[in-house]
Amino acid sequence: MAKTIRVGILGVGVMGAEHARILAGQVSGAEVAAVYDIDTARASVVAASVGTEVTDDAMLLIKDDAIDAVLIASADATHEEFVLATLAADKPVLCEKPLAPTLSGCRRILDAEVAVGRRLISVGFMRRFDPGYLAMRADVAAGTIGAPLIVHCIHRNVANPVPESATLITGSVVHEIDIVRWLLDDEFTAVTIHCPRPSGNSNGLQDPIVAVFETVSGAHVDVEVFGNAGYGYDVRCELVGETGTVQLALAADVARRGNFAASEAIARDWRDRFGEAYRCELQDWIDAVAADRPARTAHAWDGYVATVVAEAGVRALQTGATVPVDVPDRPALYA
């Protein structure tokens, strides 16, 4: 019988609790073996919900022989320390985005993994497992729409309390940065940020933002992002090629008709919209750990490049200028 992978989860806020729930109930071959959170009361609630133990020391959890793999969903500022400790323990780790909040932190992680010489790090860009994005990528690879020329993206949150406008880029647009690199198999070369009149619901921040990227192949990518769109969590993507277009379907599972009108539900948040993607991401990660192969998720290099591009986006927001994106050479480990 295949080995059960014993996962330790660091951080059980919104996403850590969701990962615990999915791992415990929807993923085969996995067990949530321990959880840690800086808020021990929260850790106890999540541990009880999945029938596991609470550990009050993150480093002990990472080193524990009873833990095979580590999932990091703690505060962004803790990612670097926890990922490096997991690498030092020679264990696979799935880290929620961002890999680290600073480029220097991402670089230290990358260098550490290159020194180990084995890919142990996965980064939680779950959209790569969404059936719609997967179908779009297959179309691009098959040449169905010809060479991609333009990508139109929409990313609207219901009410996302972010500390500063830049977080709309580092926390939200970063998903489009990753998914477009992956869809087009291309790299970004420049970014410009446009700032429309802020919404009355913007809490004093620049919200919405429109980011426009250019790529090595010459494609243009626009991303409209809202922290506080109010009406629903709405993620769209249309890829325009030389001979056709492909886009994510908008339809929910059911559409209702009545009172001379038709309606369908809109997701409430990313857990709702990307539930299947999270499940597939976790199942693939567990299968990869069991088979001792790299997971299909984004790896540390992808996490690093996403931060390179997002940081350029933040500079573009701050200066109003078009900022070049300099992606260094890819280490052979990520070929």
For ligand ISE, the closer of residues 184 and 306 by Cβ is: 306
- Applying CB under 6 A, among 171, 208, 241, 313 the residue interacting with ligand ISE is 171
Q: Say if residues 205 and 227 touch (Cβ distance below 8 Å).
A: yes
For ligand ISE, the closer of residues 157 and 307 by Cβ is: 157
For ligand ISE, the closer of residues 71 and 87 by Cβ is: 71
Least distance in Å: CB of 175 to ligand ISE?
A: 6
State both tokens at 234: 């709405």
**231, amino acid identity:** Y
Least distance in Å: CB of 273 to ligand ISE?
A: 8
Least distance in Å: CB of 165 to ligand ISE?
A: 13
In total, the chain counts a number of residues equal to 335
Window of 26-34, 110-118, 171-179, 279-287 that interacts with ligand ISE by CB under 6 A? 171-179
3-class DSSP string for the chain: CCCCEEEEEECCCHHHHHHHHHHHHHCCCEEEEEEECCCHHHHHHHHHHHCCEECCCHHHHHHCCCCCEEEECCCHHHHHHHHHHHHHCCCCEEECCCCCCCHHHHHHHHHHHHHHCCCCEEECCHHHHCHHHHHHHHHHHHCCCCCEEEEEEEEECCCCCCCCCHHHHHHHHHHHHHHHHHHHCCCEEEEEEECCCCCCCCCCCCCCEEEEEEECCCCEEEEEEECCCCCCCEEEEEEEECCCEEECCCCCCCEEEECCEEEECCCCCHHHHCHHHHHHHHHHHHHHHHHCCCCCCEEHHHHHHHHHHHHHHHHHHHHCCCEECCCCCCCHHHC
- Applying CB under 6 A, among 122, 157, 170, 297 the residue interacting with ligand ISE is 157
- Applying CB under 6 A, among 74, 160, 215, 228 the residue interacting with ligand ISE is 160
**Site membership for ligand ISE, residue 175 (CB under 6 A):** yes
Least distance in Å: CB of 230 to ligand ISE?
A: 14
Beta-carbon count within 10 A of 77 CB: 11
Least distance in Å: CB of 192 to ligand ISE?
A: 20
Residues 28-47 within binding reach of ligand ISE (CB under 6 A): none
Window of 41-49, 80-88, 170-178, 289-297 that interacts with ligand ISE by CB under 6 A? 170-178
Instruction: Give me the residue whose beta carbon is nearest to ligand ISE.
Output: 172
Rounded Cα distance between 264 and 212, Å, is 30
For ligand ISE, the closer of residues 8 and 171 by Cβ is: 171
Least distance in Å: CB of 119 to ligand ISE?
A: 23
**Site membership for ligand ISE, residue 172 (CB under 6 A):** yes
Window of 51-59, 169-177, 192-200, 321-329 that interacts with ligand ISE by CB under 6 A? 169-177
For ligand ISE, the closer of residues 133 and 270 by Cβ is: 270
Site size toward ligand ISE, by CB under 6 A: 6
**Site membership for ligand ISE, residue 228 (CB under 6 A):** no
Window of 23-31, 167-175, 211-219, 299-307 that interacts with ligand ISE by CB under 6 A? 167-175
Angle at 153 between CA 126 and CA 312, to 5 degrees: 80
Residues 243-272 within binding reach of ligand ISE (CB under 6 A): 270
Q: For 177, list phi and psi in degrees, rounded to 5.
A: -55, -50
State both tokens at 190: 């420049």
For ligand ISE, the closer of residues 13 and 29 by Cβ is: 13
Least distance in Å: CB of 111 to ligand ISE?
A: 26
Q: Which residues bind ligand ISE (CB under 6 A)?
A: 157, 160, 171-172, 175, 270
